[in-house]
Amino acid sequence: MAKDRDNKSGHSTGTPKAPPEGSYRITDAQAFGRNMAKVAAKSQQLAGQFLVRQAHRAGQDPFDPLNISGAWLALLKQMAANPTALLNAQFELWRDYATLLQRTAERVAGRKVEPVVAPQPGDRRFRHPDWQENQVFDFIKQSYLLTANWLQRTVAGVPGMDERTQNRALFYARQFADAIAPSNFVLTNPEVLRETLSSNGENLVRGLDNLLTDLERGQGELSIRQTSGNFAIGKDIAVTPGKVVFRNELFELLQYAPSTGTVYRAPLLIFPPWINKFYILDLKPENSFVKWAVERGYTVFVASWVNPGPALADKGFEDYMRDGIFAALDAVEQATGEHQANVIGYCIAGTLLGATLAYGAATGEYRDRFASATFFAAQVDFAQSGDLQVFVDDEQLESLEQQMRASGGVLEGSKMAMTFNMLRANDLIWSFVVNNYLLGREPVPFDLLYWNSDTTRMPLKLHLTYLRECYRNNALAEAHMQLAGKVLDVKKIQTPAFFQAAREDHIAPAISVYRGARLFGGEVTFVLAGSGHIAGVVNPPAAMKYQHWTNEALPATLDLWRAGATEHAGSWWPYWDSWLAPRSGEQVPARKPGDGALAILADAPGTYVLVKAGGLNTEPKSKRSKAA
């Protein structure tokens, strides 16, 4: 059967064929009994390890680090104050169940009936044919969907709650509904049940082995493996030719070898997010933004951020501005002789770039060093920043600070990864629980998910400042945030700016990116791409995937912008190139790494990118080039 690779979860997207009727039976009772004995033994081993680890960790972690109890208590209080609304909601659920029972009875009698409720488009949990063709599993599926939808509607409709608390309660209601889905259990998932019976339980034995391995790798915390690919950085991914030409304690600067005889005068300097490794922009040659930009005639530099240990716990926004953006601009000037550069900030690095530009507007420092600024899925205004707002109440931030201090002043990468995975739990958590643990299968090799699992740590001061100042207080947008004692006002930024957002982005919602774009005081261009936070950015033109929208105006709201926008097929990269090229100066002879004042320190992708999140204090020693 031909299968397409899904770009979100790494699972195949072909619809499984339904096994023949009557296959819900054990094929070998003795083999099944032996495997169930193995399952029991491994389950006992798993439970024993869990109890030992919990006893060891007792008192170390906060009891409720996500403050779920606070959200539920607030919800229950408001529900108790509005009993009529709750009774109406319960009546609605009973009515829907009565309709489902009636239609199920009609179907059993041989009549064709329409389902009471259907999964949302793109919900892959119920794609096995038995969820539709088998009456029992169809009833289980519809019962679950009715209850899950009712739960979320009820929570969203409770009057009297403030918006943030209600959003938190709704988020956790959705997490609960996703967790109890019948697809996550052996006896209520037809594909898993068939596999269990036909293989005499071999799938469960393999699944428990996978689970034990993941717990061991996570040192007691579940670290779900999302890909089986053993990708080698610098060999399979991050292979665009280049050199490390500068290094300090925060980043290595990569300069890529030209592939054209001439290049634009203004170099291109890219700051990826430090929440993950830089090579999301240089995965494989066919989807590498770095390679494509080099081929378009830009002299490309990329900051490869360090994976910070406790020694960098006190580094904050000002440090990442001065020893990050400013230091990189100086190094680029030494390498090329050019005083100005076109600068890109992706995600959180775009927030830093916006703060840096506002600092320059306030002080004049480095203000003339930016020929232009491009923002990939980056937020400056956090008033409508989506589900990540769930994690920034005072109780959670206090708990987070406690955890980071206990870890030496850093946030472990696994904790950040779990937060992002929760935003799309069905794709990035439960689909792998079913595949790896219930079906006992190996995840498929997938470069994007390898990158997603290659986590980095966060320094305490930098991360908490980001969450408090941006997510909780929206201080950057409201001109309250300070760097080096200077109040930042993004409305004073005059640097030509290009903002890219993605229609389905769950990390930097398009509405949030758009609000930030409208704050800038200079010339601003905004483009909306199809797909999400990663695929919306990393979408090479040759792939001919998705679409993008353009509109020269910047009306008051994103809805108005979209109403006047023009849709175009395929990648937005060429549109950005047509915007950047006129701001990049004339053509000059191509520059090679090492031609300028900076000596070559190492081959790309460098050494910082190889540091894994599991080992603290493994960063290479700070080493500058001779010219630095």
Q: Cis omega before residue 115 (within 30°)?
A: no
**Which residue, chain included where needed, has tokens 């909306």?**
528
Q: Which residues pair with 410 in a beta bridge?
A: 459
Question: Is 347 one of the annotated active-site residues of the chain?
Answer: yes
Write down how long the chain is: 628
268, HSE (Cβ side, Cα atoms, 13 Å): 26
What does 366-415 look like in DSSP terms, one character per residue?
Answer: TGGGEEEEEEES--S--TT-GGGGGG-SHHHHHHHHHHHHHTTSEE-HHH
The CA distance from 167 to 153, in Å, is: 12
User: 550 phi and psi, to 5 degrees?
Assistant: -130, 150
DSSP code of residue 549: E
Q: Largest Cα–Cα distance in the chain?
A: 84
What is the rounded CA–CA span in Å between residue 499 and residue 514? 8
> Chain centroid to CA 319: how far?
25
| Strand partners of residue 12 | 5
Cα distance between residue 532 and residue 515, in whole Å: 18
Q: How far is Cα 403 from Cα 366, in angstroms, rounded to an integer?
A: 36
Find out whether 289 and 538 touch, Cβ atoms under 8 Å: yes
User: Measured between alpha carbons, how far is 519 from 454 in angstroms, rounded to an integer?
Assistant: 34
Token couple for 381: 């205004």
Query: What count of Cα atoms within 13 Å lies in the side-chain half-sphere of residue 248?
Result: 16
CA distances from 418 to 18, 233, 412 (A): 34, 23, 10
Instruction: Tell me which of 192, 347, 458, 609 is the catalytic residue.
Output: 347
Chain centre distance of CA 570: 22
DSSP secondary structure, 457-514, as one string: -EEHHHHHHIIIIIIIT-TTTTT--EETTEE--GGG--S-EEEEEETT-SSS-HHHHH
What are the catalytic residues? 347
